């Protein structure tokens, strides 16, 4: 990917994450980026193309981070917490109006996100549960498919802003409580001891 195109996506993404997507016109964006619209249109045919490209790029980056966390993690609990830290770091500062804008005005980008969550994320969660069972730190009686779908479904609930409206409920606080709840619900006695010993106050 051309360096300039990547720069535009990174900087435009930061603008959209702060202000939302619908409210930021291409004129607004050009001013924020300190470049002409002509330069932006050299790489993206319109705003929809830019938004779609940003979402695809961000998801590819997220996928790489998740796979890296899995590879480096000591066990399934360590993996899930590492991924959760990445999610909080990448999404915690986002104006949740972004997700509303995507769903209402950018259906292709929204569908790309849905396919990613119910494809890659769901499969990663299934594999995490299976791993935890093999390692003897998750309960054997867990239904892998049901628990994995609960994980993805609750993530959707957190992001849509209806149950936990932003900014009254900060994403990072809600998501951290959810992960704590999720892990303690899946872990057996051995897993709980590992969680408390390794992560201590972080999960209290």
Residues 6+ apart with CB under 8 A from 67: none
Judged on CB neighbours under 10 Å (0-12, 13-18, 19+), 1 is exposed
CB 40 within 8 A of CB 26: yes
Q: In whole numbers, what is the pLDDT of the chain averaged over residues? A: 92
CB 24 within 8 A of CB 16: yes
pLDDT score recorded for residue 26: 96
CB 137 within 8 A of CB 129: no
183 sits in which H/E element: helix 171-186
191, pLDDT greater than 90: yes
How confident is the model over 20-28, as a mean pLDDT? 95
| 168: DSSP letter | T
Q: Domain limits of the chain?
A: 55-203
pTM (2 decimals)? 0.90
204, pLDDT greater than 60: no
CATH number of 55-203: 1.10.357
How confident is the model over 76-104, as a mean pLDDT? 88
Residue 109: helix, strand or coil by DSSP?
A: helix
More confident residue, 164 or 31: 31
Cα distance between residue 102 and residue 152, in whole Å: 18
């Amino acid at each position: 990917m051309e360096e300039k195109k990547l720069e535009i996506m990174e900087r435009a993404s930061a603008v959209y994450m702060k202000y939302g997507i619908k409210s930021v016109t291409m004129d607004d964006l050009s001013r924020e980026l300190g470049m002409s619209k002509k330069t932006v249109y050299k790489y993206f045919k319109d705003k929809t193309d830019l938004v779609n490209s940003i979402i695809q790029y961000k998801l590819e980056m997220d996928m790489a981070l998740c796979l890296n966390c899995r590879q480096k993690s000591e066990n399934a609990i360590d993996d899930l917490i590492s991924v959760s830290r990445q999610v909080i770091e990448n999404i915690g500062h986002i104006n949740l109006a972004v997700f509303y804008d995507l769903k209402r005005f950018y259906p292709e980008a929204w569908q790309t996100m849905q396919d990613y969550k119910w494809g890659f994320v769901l499969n990663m969660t299934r594999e995490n549960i299976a791993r935890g069972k093999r390692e003897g730190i998750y309960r054997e009686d867990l239904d892998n498919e049901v628990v994995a779908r609960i994980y993805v479904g609750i993530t959707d609930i957190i992001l849509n802003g209806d149950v936990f409206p932003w900014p009254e409920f900060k994403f990072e606080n809600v998501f951290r409580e959810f992960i704590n709840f999720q892990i303690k619900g899946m872990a057996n006695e051995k897993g709980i001891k590992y969680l408390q010993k390794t992560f201590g106050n972080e999960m209290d």
